[in-house]
Amino acid sequence: MAEKKGRAFSVTSLPGFAAVAMITFLVLYAPIVTMVFYSFNGADSVAVWGGFSLEWYVYAWNNTQVQEATLRSVIIATSAAGISTVVATMAALGTTRRGKFKGQMLIYVMINQPLMVPEIVTAVALLIFFASIKVATGYTGLAYLILAHAAFCVPFAYLPIRARLEGMDLTLETAAADLYATPWKTFRRVTLPLLAPGIAAGAMLAFVISLDDVIITEFVKSAGQDTLPTYMLGQLRRIVTPEVNAISTALLTLTVMLLTVFFLLTRSRD
Pairwise CA distance, residues 156 & 113, whole Å: 11
pLDDT digits (tens, 9 = 90+) for 109-124: 888 888 888 889 989 9
The residue type found at 71 is L
Compute the average pLDDT of residues 167-171.
78
Q: What's the residue count for the chain?
A: 270
Average model confidence (pLDDT) across the chain: 84
Q: How far apart are CA 90 and CA 78, in angstroms?
A: 19
| Residue 114 parent element (H or E) | helix 113-116
Q: What is the CATH number of domain 67-242?
A: 1.10.3720.10
Q: Report pLDDT for 78.
A: 93
Confidence at 1, pLDDT banded by 50, 70, 90: very low
- pLDDT at residue 4 in the model: 52
CA distance 251 to 232: 12
Average pLDDT over residues 252-268: 73
Predicted confidence at residue 81, as pLDDT, reads 94
* Interval 91-102: pLDDT, tens: 888 888 776 777
pLDDT of residue 28: 87
The whole-number pLDDT of residue 169 equals 75
Percentage of the chain beyond pLDDT 90 is: 20
- 58 CB burial (10 A radius; 0-12, 13-18, 19+): exposed
Task: Supply the pLDDT for residue 32.
Answer: 87
| pLDDT of res. 240 | 73
pLDDT above 80: residue 21: yes
Instruction: Please say whether the beta carbons of 210 and 76 come within 8 A.
Output: yes
Residue (of 232, 170, 177, 222) closest to 195 by Cα position: 170
DSSP one-letter string for 242-257: HHHHHHHHHHHHHHHH
Residue 211 has phi, psi (to 5 degrees) of -60, -30
Cα–Cα–Cα angle for 175, 180, 184, nearest 5°? Answer: 90
**Which tens digits make up the pLDDT trace of 24-65?**
889 888 888 888 888 888 887 777 788 888 888 888 888 888
- Identify the band that residue 174 occupies on the pLDDT scale cut at 50, 70 and 90: confident
State how far the Cα of 93 lies from the Cα of 265, in Å rounded to an integer.
23
- What does the pLDDT read at residue 179? 80
The pLDDT of 167-185, averaged and rounded, is 80
> What is residue 255's predicted lDDT score, i.e. its pLDDT?
80
